Structure formats: structure tokens, C-alpha cells
Structure 1
Amino acid sequence: MEVEARPRHAVCMVCDFFYPSMGGVEMHIWSLAQCLLKLGHKVVVVTHSYDNRKGVRYMQNGLKVYYCPLLTFYDQDVWPTLFAFFPLFRHILIRERISIVHTHQATSVMSIECTLYARTMGYKVVYTDHSLFGFADAGSIHINQVMRFILSDVDHCICVSNTCRENLALRARLHPILLSTIPNAVDPDKFTPDLGQHRRLSTGGDRINVVMISRLVYRKGIDLVARVIPMVCARFPHVHFIVGGDGNKKLLIEEMRERHQLQDRVEMLGRVPHSDVRDVLVRGHIFLNCSLTESFCIAILEAASCGLFVVSTCVGGVPEVLPPSMIKFADPTVESLAAAIEAALPLAKEVAPAEFHRRVRHMYNWMEVARRTETVYHHVREASTPTLMERLRRYNTVGGAVAGWLCCFAVSVMYLAWRVIEWIWPREDIELAHEFPSTRYIHDNGKRKK
């Protein structure tokens, strides 16, 4: 009996946040794309240009990236273009024979606009949410309204934690059947422990290094860090801190170090390239995460994979990431964080780095994430495509009396714009891109496939 071949998908991932920018969303898109390529799917990434990185670039294993000429205005987000980016995005989708558009992150303007473009043209759309948002502050209210409008017409939503899933279901008012939880992962081969460092600690060395690698911004709890470090250093002379990262709160840490004369106790590394993160982590014994909100936090996975005991604020989806034997939780307060670090000091001496690494490798794997995402693709591929009237009915329902009609008007204008573009620039005139021979370049266990 013949075995049915696995359906092949042509996926276009869209987000404002991608390499050379570094962060959890960027790492997720990169890692997921690489594993989908290994599973035999076609993947292209659409993002905006970064400095001199413009046009089309090929990356590892034939991953094709379109760095589009769009202007950014804040935190790598582009200016809204309304319909200006529509023709170019349509050209990319037709040229690459895309079947599924996969957008990422609620704060990505490109993701929001391209979701509307793709649905107007009848493409299947999957969305992945990476962040948590509140319900009371002005910024969250605005984002929630936008996401409620946009996500009312996507085929499926993926969340990186159960907390993230519940948060998105509430703020976007989505039926749970449209949501799946597929967690982040880590590449354990890139984050291996340095057994010698912990062996020295267990055989008489009493210095303990607390490592923190993070964007130095308010959301990461840097205001708490600036008060916790002097308190811990005053109580425990053998504790040293290694701080890596950059951001608008970096000056706050530097001022704290000068004010308390902790230059020999607090090492500031600045921005750490992702390729060097492992080398910094293995210098430590405890990893500190002080985030005020976090949907998952890949950083604590990377640290645990390197054999570090983790101290973290108990916020968002962080309690779902590691078992209690590998992490110590604290409330997002100075006193609670200092007490958690104090409680973690003796535990760090008992850590078996190889065992931590083995457990992380067993629990999290990017290939498993890709397979579960592949299942979502199979599901949405078989789903029916709504007509324009069905879409307008959805938008009118979620928008309300006034906003609903405005949403329907905007979508109707976008539909007419698409028809005009189809007439001016027929798809038959668009040259199709040559398929990159990915299987010839993808390595498996160090061996090149023929």
C-alpha cells in the first residue's frame, strides 16, 4: 500500500521584527522557518529593511527574506501604509506561489496590514501571538480593539503559552476553538553547559555569578534590578552580577553601580550578540529574570539549558516554562526578588548542569514546534474561504454600530483597490520565482543530503 505524501505548504511569514534585530519574536520566526524547511515546506519571510540590508537575501538553508523599503518610526515598527504596500505584497505572494500567510506579534504594523491584504486576496492566514496585554491602560485598549477587528477574520491563532491563549481569547473575544497553544523552544546544541565552571563551585570556590541578559527597558523590570543588586551585594559579599543587554534603562544600572561603588561586583557587557549568549551564560550559576510581563521567556530556557538555576518573577506564562526544581519564583517587588536570590544561592551549588541540559532537551524542541505548526497549516488549508459578504458580516459584528460600519467601509475600499491592481497588473504578467533546491543544502546530523 502506498504511503500518502505529506502535503507541502508555501508559507510567507510576516513581521516587523526579524534579523538583524534580536529578540524572542525574531528567534521564534528564524527557528520555526528553519525547521519547516527541513520538513520540506517552502518558507519566505517578509519584513522591512534594516539600514543597508534591503532587497532579497538568502539565509541559511535557502530561507528567502524580502527586506522591503518601508520606513520605521518606533522600536522597529514601520509607519502604517494603508494601501501603499498592497501591490508589492501581492507581487511577492504570487511570485513565490504562497498558500499560507503566517503573521506574528500584535504590535507589528506589517503583520496587521498584511493580514488584511492576504484575506482580501483569499489567502489562508495564521497568526501567532507572542505578548500579553492588559485591559485598562490606553495603549492596551487601542491594541485590543485593533486585534479584535483583525483576528475576527483569520483562520487560526497560535499562542506561545496557555496564559497567552487565555489573554488573547479575552481581549480579542475569540472562540477557544480558533486558538492553539504551541510553546517556544530552544536549540540545546547551541546552549550546552560548561561543567568545569560548576565543578569549581562545588569543590571550594564560593563566588557565585548572577547573570542577566535582557533588553534594558521598563518591561523587563530594570527599575527593580537597579534596587535589587545593591541589596543583594550588601548581604552577600561573594555574589557578583553580570549584566548583558542594551536599552534606555542602561544608564539607570550604570548610575546604580557608580553610586554604590560596585564596579568590581557588577560587570556591564552591553549588547551581547546571540552567538555569544551561551559563552556569557556559562560564566554564571544563577540566571535572573525580572520581567513585569512575559508570555513565555525563551531566555530562561537558554539559561537552564546551560545549567543555570533560574530566579524569575512569577508573571504571565513564565510559571509554565520550567518545573519547580529548576526555578525559584518571586513577586515583582524588590524584597521578594532579593529573598528569591538568597534562597537560590545554596540551590545553585547543588545544580547538576548536565541534568538540567538533558531535561530542557527532553521538554523543548524546535522540530516538535514545527510539526505542531504544520498540523495547524494542514487544518487551515482544508478550511473554507469566506466570501466578501461573510467577511463584512464578521467585521460589522465585532465593530459595533459605528466602528463596524467604518471597518466594513475600509475593507470594501481595500477589496476595490485589489481589483484595480489585478486589472492594472495582471498576475499572468508576474514572473514566478525559481524554487531554491533546499534539500541539497539542508544538513541533518552534519551530513549533506544528496
Structure 2
Amino acid sequence: MARTYNIAMVCDFFFPQPGGIESHIYQLSSKLIDRGHKVIVITHAYENRKGIRYLTNGLKVYHVPFLVIYRQATFPTVFSFFPIFRNIVIRERIEIVHGHASLSSFCHEAILHGRTMGLRTVFTDHSLFGFADAASILTNKILKFILSDVDHVICVSHTCKENTVLRASLDPLMVSVIPNAVVADNFRPRSYPLHPSADGFAPNPPPANHPGPNDVITIVVISRLFYNKGTDLLTAAIPRILFNHPNTRFIIAGSGPKAIDLEQMIEQNVLQDRVEMLGPIRHEEVRDVMVRGHIYLHPSLTEAFGTVIVEAASCGLYVVCTQVGGIPEVLPSHMTVFAKPEEDDLVAATGRAIAALRANKVRTERFHEQVKKMYSWENVAMRTERVYHGIYGELSDDEFYGYEGYGVMRGRGGQQSFALIDRLKRYYGCGIWAGKLFCLCVIIDYLLYFALEMLFPRENIDIARDWPRKTRPKSSKQT
């Protein structure tokens, strides 16, 4: 029987905030629970949501009250999170710490403290970052610090893997690519009847709903309204698209600092009857907004994956998106029209998509079933579980890394050593000055850990009762 684990997903970004990372953590956790593992989530408090909450499928969430400074990221303190993190880890008997997102302070601190406590660690990167601006340089340095002593790294696209390997100076063999997914049944087209079949009830493709020459085409945008999401590009392109194509309208959902720019553009161009601003919406409302449209417009300037365009295609929308980051890897070419991240090209690409729909050249009614076959959270959970088996030595080096000698290079079984001297050697190579600073942080972390062990003995910490574990699916096998 395949081994199961006690896993802590740690990230600043989680429900009730909507978003791709938040959905990824929830769906992955839920499917790992279905496979017999124990999973908890550690995140910060959201307004009045503090303490412990239980979500569907018995997923326990710890909302830790910490100061939030920007875009739901907590203030980095390095050490102050350690006491409560240690308490949670001991209470829940955690074996693997799985951190998410480069900009999550909780994630980085949990990986550092987890290694100090002798736990296996995994990091999933969901974003792309540059190498030139000050913010990216600082983020990359922190990432290099944390990933110098992590067991394995997961990226959501091959472009994201290349970016992360360069930013953190990683060996590509210790980085796996596991994409995001969608629950396709939650993103059905508007008309999706069911008919009885020999296997029960199976979905029929919806009837074709192609707009005629004089029908109104609705373009949907659902995004956080920030610069990196291409909101400035969208603001400049909308008046031109509406001018070139009179029988079109926009529905825009989302919130952020760039929302005021969109509102000013609408007023200046008197487009109130053709552009509908919905403001922030919950994730469960996304499908209801998408099925009101024919085209989904995604003008992002940088994107590691782009889960929302998979959701849009699943809803039967033709996708217009910028050809940046990992987006070209996400959907096949017949579902998308690509544009350069420039105003003129975005306007032209949207025009091509409108013309293709009016000429009935795109079979959007088939998109849902195609997406359903391409992406599933069950597959993501199986591949993530394989990473856990690899870092625990359940798989041979040849099976896990595809390279027989790689485990010898890293330590027995391909695992990173917990010995302090080995950890300091890895951190010392992070830079002339940064390496010494990182070594000092690790030494302080060890001293703090020993102090906590003496002042608050682990035998005095109550062990939490586990939610009843699910029986592992019979068809499931160790991969």
C-alpha cells in the first residue's frame, strides 16, 4: 500500500480571497485528502476570519493573525512566526511543509523553520519575475536563500521552471513542472444538457451559439486590476475595439488600484452603455459571468500559467490573450488568438477573434469536453504525490530524477541533509555578503528552536484529533 503523509500547505494567499493560487491550494489539498493524505492549510487572518476553520472535505485551515502590508502579503519577520508554526506542526504531526508563491512571507519562513525542525519541504512557484528592477532583485535573493535548502520545487509551466531555475540558481533536475487545472464541471457553457446513456448521465455538447453579422458580441474580462495584469493595456484598447466593432460590448469583473483608470476611460468616452463594471466577484460567480460572453480577453503582461483562460475555454469562450510567459503552453491554438503585449496588436487580435466567430470558423461548443480531458486536479494530485514519494525516498533516484547518480550528489536517497554544517554550506554559497547573512539567520533559527523546545516542551502540546482519513482509491497506485 502506498504511503500517506501529513502535509501543511503554507501561503499568505488563500480563501476567502479569490485567485489562481488560492484555488490551486484548495483544490490540490482536497484531492490529496481524497487520496488518503492529511492536509492542513496555514495562512494569515482575513478580517474577522481568525483561528481554525474547517472547509469542505475536512480541510482544516489555520488563520494566523499577522500584519498584512500589501496585496494580502504579510510583513516578513523571519523569526516571529516560528513559535506558532512549531506549535501547529507538532499538534498536527506534520511531515511535509509545502509552501506556495514567491511573494508569500509565510511560505518562505515556514520552509526555513520546517528544515530547522527536520521536516521535508516542497515549494511551488506560481509567478514570473524579472531580473532588473529593485523589487525583483530583492525577491530573487530571498528565493535563492530559501530554495538553497529545499527538497524539491514545483513550477506551473515550463516557462516558469526556466525562470525559477535562473532566479534561484537551481539544478533543473530538482524542479518539476505540474500545471494548474480546473474543475471542468464547475465551468460548463450556458446550455449544457444531459442525456441518459448506458453509463448513466453523460453530457451532450451544447448547441452551437455563433453570433450572426448583426448580433452583439460580448467580451469578458475577469482579473485583478493591477499593472502586471495589463489593465493599462486594456484601458487603451477598449475604446478602439468598440469603435472598430459597433456591435460589441464589454463586461469587466475585478478590483484593484487600476479600476479608477477604467472608470475614467468609460466616462471620457461615454461608454457606460457598452462597458459594464461588476467590481469584485467571488470565485463561484466566475462561471455565471463568463457564460454571458463570447470572447474572453486576457491582456496580462506577465503570467506563469493563467488558470482563468482555461476556465474561460471550458465555458465555451474564444480566448484572446497576450503571448507572454507560460500562456502559450496552456491551450491549443484553435482555442486562442495570441497578441503581443502591445495596444495595436491586442486590438487587431480581438478583431480577428470577432471576425472568426461571426464567420462561424470556431467550434466553441466543443471546448468544454476538450478542456475536461486536458486538465484535472486528480492528475495534479497524483503528480504532486509522486514528488512527496521522491523526497521521502519511496522512489529510487532513477525513477524520481531520471538520473541514477543524482541522489548521491544530494545525499542518501536524493534527500537534502538536515545536518547544520551541510545547511550552512548551501547557504554560504548564496553570495559574498548575503551568504554570511543567511548563515547567521539559520544559526539564530536553530538557537530559537532549541529555546522553544526547552521553554515549551513538545510533550506539553496537545495532539489534534485527525479528521477521518479517506480510503485510497482502488485504482490508485504509487507513481
Please give the range of the TM-score, normalised by the shorter of the 2 chains.
over 0.9
State which of 277, 280, 285 in structure 2 corresponds to 1:271: 280
Equivalent residue letter for 2:11: C
Is 1:414 aligned to 2:414, yes or no? no
Equivalent residue letter for 1:281: M
> Could you tell which deviates more after superposition, 221-230 or 378-387?
378-387
C-alpha deviations, 1:191-234, integer Å up to 9, x for none?
Answer: 00123897454567621001001011111111111111100111
Equivalent residue letter for 2:309: I
State which of 113, 128, 132 in structure 2 corresponds to 1:132: 128
Q: How far did 1:438 drift?
A: 4.4
Cα-Cα RMSD: 1.7
C-alpha deviations, 1:78-123, integer Å up to 9, x for none?
Answer: 1122322211101111110111000000100111111111011110
State which of 325, 347, 352 in structure 2 corresponds to 1:338: 347
State which of 28, 44, 48 in structure 2 corresponds to 1:32: 28
C-alpha deviations, 1:161-197, integer Å up to 9, x for none?
Answer: 0000000000100000110000000110100012389
CA contact (8 A) 1:9 1:41 kept: yes
> Could you tell which deviates more after superposition, 401-410 or 28-37?
401-410
Alignment of 1:265-304 (within 5 A): 265-304=274-313
Distance, in Å, in 2 between the alignment partners of 1:336 and 1:195 is: 32
Distance, in Å, in 1 between the alignment partners of 2:445 and 2:208 is: 63
State which of 162, 165, 178 in structure 2 corresponds to 1:166: 162
The 3-state SS of whatever aligns with 2:273 is: coil
CA contact (8 A) 2:235 2:262 kept: yes
What is residue 363 of structure 2 aligned with on the other side? Answer: 352
What is residue 374 of structure 2 aligned with on the other side? Answer: 363
Equivalent residue letter for 2:439: C
What is residue 446 of structure 1 aligned with on the other side? Answer: none
Distance, in Å, in 2 between the alignment partners of 1:379 and 1:206 is: 55
Distance, in Å, in 1 between the alignment partners of 2:155 and 2:85 is: 25
> Could you tell which deviates more after superposition, 77-86 or 114-123?
77-86
Alignment of 1:51-450 (within 5 A): 51-195=47-191, 199-202=208-211, 206-349=215-358, 350=360, 351-382=362-393, 383=415, 385-398=417-430, 400-439=431-470
Distance, in Å, in 2 between the alignment partners of 1:154 and 1:371 is: 21
CA contact (8 A) 1:392 1:408 kept: yes
The 3-state SS of whatever aligns with 2:392 is: helix
The 3-state SS of whatever aligns with 2:292 is: coil
Equivalent residue letter for 2:458: R
The 3-state SS of whatever aligns with 2:78 is: coil
What is residue 399 of structure 2 aligned with on the other side? Answer: none
C-alpha deviations, 1:212-270, integer Å up to 9, x for none?
Answer: 01011111111111111100111111111111111111111111111111111111111
Equivalent residue letter for 2:462: E
CA contact (8 A) 2:10 2:97 kept: yes
What is residue 448 of structure 1 aligned with on the other side? Answer: none
CA contact (8 A) 1:195 1:354 kept: no
Distance, in Å, in 2 between the alignment partners of 1:423 and 1:36 is: 35
Equivalent residue letter for 2:288: D
5+ residue gaps, structure 1? 444-450
CA contact (8 A) 2:150 2:416 kept: no
The 3-state SS of whatever aligns with 1:157 is: strand
Distance, in Å, in 1 between the alignment partners of 2:440 and 2:276 is: 56
CA contact (8 A) 2:189 2:368 kept: yes
Equivalent residue letter for 2:67: L
How many residues end up aligned between the 2 structures? 438
Equivalent residue letter for 1:266: V
C-alpha deviations, 1:342-383, integer Å up to 9, x for none?
Answer: 110132343334310011001100110010000000011123
Distance, in Å, in 1 between the alignment partners of 2:440 and 2:77 is: 17
Q: How far did 1:306 drift?
A: 0.3
The 3-state SS of whatever aligns with 1:189 is: helix
Distance, in Å, in 2 between the alignment partners of 1:392 and 1:40 is: 36
The 3-state SS of whatever aligns with 1:47 is: strand
The 3-state SS of whatever aligns with 1:439 is: coil
CA contact (8 A) 1:195 1:353 kept: no
5+ residue gaps, structure 2? 193-205, 394-414, 474-479
CA contact (8 A) 2:208 2:365 kept: no
Equivalent residue letter for 1:63: L
